[in-house]
Structure 1
Amino acid sequence: MSKLLDQDKPIYLQIRERIEDQIVNEQLKEGEQAPSTNQLVSFYKINHATVSKGVNQLVEEGILFKKRGIGMFVADGAREKLVQKRKDAFLDNYVVGLVQEAKKLGITMQELVELIKSCKGSE
């Protein structure tokens, strides 16, 4: 995890997204203990309330759960929830606009698929 935080985005969101990334990338697996708020405060040198806000959002969504006196853990099904959430966001943020622009330009779905395949092959 990089210590560098983006100045253009709320810090609590960045903390939340970094924990989400670790779950999606399976660096943190379901049932494993997540970093505590104290560890995150110490690592990033930021306010406890800021870290708590990001972590508590993950708890409210059922991504993390607390064991009193023990710590924070990754919930069962957390990775699947996060992946589905990101797929939905990907559709809304990228695919819908892409298809709309393709229609405006007269690009057929088949042509669009071929363009995507050619881009994917260039990796």
Structure 2
Amino acid sequence: MQFNFNSAEPLYLQVAEQIMEAILAKIYSADDQIPSTTEISRSYHINPATVLKGMNLLVNQGLIVKKRGIGMFVTPHAYQKIVEQRRDQFYQQRIIDLIKEARRLQISKDELISLIERGFNE
């Protein structure tokens, strides 16, 4: 995990993002235990309440689950949920802008598809 203490993005969001990235990279799979709040807090010198706030975001999203007295674990469908969430973000943040720019440049749908295929083949 890497945290940017000078970033405008709050640390608790960075904690949540780092854990989601680890799930997406399959560092943590379904039912795997993730590092505890204390472990992350000590390793990266982050306030335990900040770490917990980030983890609670993931609990609320159904990506991790608390097992009282044992720790936090990745839920069975966490990977797929993250992939679906990221695909939606990709569409909203990149594809829509790509299409707008293509229209501004008078690139047809067929030309755009051809450019995408060329990118995949390179």
Is this a same-fold pair by TM over 0.5?
A: yes
Q: Does 1:92 align with 2:80?
A: no
Task: Give me the identity figure in percent.
Answer: 40
CA distance in 1, matches of 2:49, 2:98: 39
CA RMSD across the alignment: 1.3
Deviation (angstroms), 1:120: 3.3
Instruction: Within 5 Å, give how 1:1-123 maps onto structure 2.
Output: 1-2=1-2, 4-5=3-4, 7-8=6-7, 9-122=9-122
Instruction: Show CA shifts across 1:47-89 (max 9, x none).
Output: 1111011000000111000110000000010000000000000
CA distance in 1, matches of 2:5, 2:119: 29
State the TM-score, normalized to the length of structure 1. Answer: 0.92
CA distance in 2, matches of 1:109, 1:38: 52
CA distance in 2, matches of 1:63, 1:32: 11
State the TM-score, normalized to the length of structure 2. Answer: 0.92
Deviation (angstroms), 1:6: 5.0
Q: Which amino acid aligns with 1:7?
A: N
CA distance in 2, matches of 1:12, 1:84: 22
Q: Which amino acid aligns with 1:25?
A: A
Q: Which amino acid aligns with 1:33?
A: Q
